[in-house]
Amino acid sequence: MSELLKIGIDAGGDTSVESIKGAIMAAAESRDYIVLLYGSGEEIDTVWLENAGTLPTRPLANLILEDCGNSRATALKESVHDLASGEIDALITASNSRRLDVCTHDAGMWQRPYLPALISPLPTRHGIGYFLDAGATSRVNDPSIYANWVAMGVRFLQNLGFDQPRVGLANIASERGAPEIIAIRDGLAAIPNFVGLVEPKQFVWDNQADLWVMDGFTGNLILKTLEAYMELLTASHAAAVAGYQAPEGQPTPAQCVITNAKTLFSYEAHLASPYLTPSGQWLFRVHGSAPAALIAQAFALVVKNYNLDEPIW
């Protein structure tokens, strides 16, 4: 048991009940890992009791309960400090970015003037690309912060197997920009494989960059807009072909459209966004409203898609 990777799940967010249930489900489904559940011991007991018959029965040999009292903020703080000190190998949290920034800063995972960044996969015509910041920060115009983000993002993509990731700065045009955008572009100009200003079509359709860089306000807006349009498009396509009678046992065109769209664009397709800091620990943020099933699914994707045996760098 001591050789198994230890992965924490923070149940101190606004949806602590769902995080608790998701952690229990993850532990039951992933016996090759130790799951440390950080939260209120009383609340964990209550959730397990109230969901008897639905959740796996206790005890689970690979689930360790870390009682952090009744303060949700304490659960995040203790789990982040355990991650920073090497007590656990990775951490999954649904806590909001502001709390996460404070706790990771206090744990020494990053120091000002640098800032952390969420990196997220984004489907493109040519496969999966990545963009940051996906929502860890808001308005940032300091070129040195962007340069630090790019350094972390490039190292992260190299960890995934990209040889020389191409970097583009998000803008509404490739040939001009506001003074603050131009200042950031000029500050990144000396970075190897920096391709300059990249507008959405050039990233999504023309394959001009592997890493698309922007501030967290823009990144979060892009994510939520894509999710909303995915729902709109799949609903409209489904309505258009609703009258089609598929052969027995075969999916209808509407079902195919919805499945394919969700495979590409929905939150369920990617779930956990790595939270990058200079210290390089594996920290993943999931959507604050993620239900238990998605918490467990995020756990499964994290252990499948990333090499958690070593730090990111």
State the CATH number of the domain containing residue 50: 3.40.50.10950
What are the helix (H) ranges across 131-177? Answer: 143-160
Residue 30: give the domain boundaries: 1-110+277-313
Strand partners, 39: 67
Question: End of a domain among 235, 251, 269?
Answer: 269
Are 104 and 158 contained in the same domain? no
**Which residue's structure tokens are 């958690």?**
308
Q: What is the pLDDT of residues 41-95, one digit of tens each?
A: 999 999 999 999 899 998 999 999 999 988 778 999 999 999 999 999 999 999 9
Please name the amino acid found at residue 294: L
Kind and range of the H or E run holding 99: helix 97-106
Percent of the chain with pLDDT over 90: 64
Residue 99 lies in a domain: yes
Contact indicator for 275, 285 with CB cutoff of 8 Å: yes
CATH number for the domain that contains residue 251: 3.40.718.10
For the chain, which ranges sit under pLDDT 70? 1-2, 14, 233-234, 236-246, 252-270
Are 129 and 261 contained in the same domain? yes
Give the distance, in angstroms, between the CA of residue 43 and the centroid of all CA atoms in the same chain.
Answer: 26
Closest alpha carbon to 75 in 13, 5, 7, 6 = 13
Rounded distance, CA 265 to CA 105, Å?
A: 32
Are 282 and 263 contained in the same domain? no
Are 24 and 74 contained in the same domain? yes
Domain count, the chain: 2
Are 135 and 245 contained in the same domain? yes
Are 133 and 173 contained in the same domain? yes
Q: Is 135 left (phi over 0), alpha (psi -120 to 50) or beta?
A: left
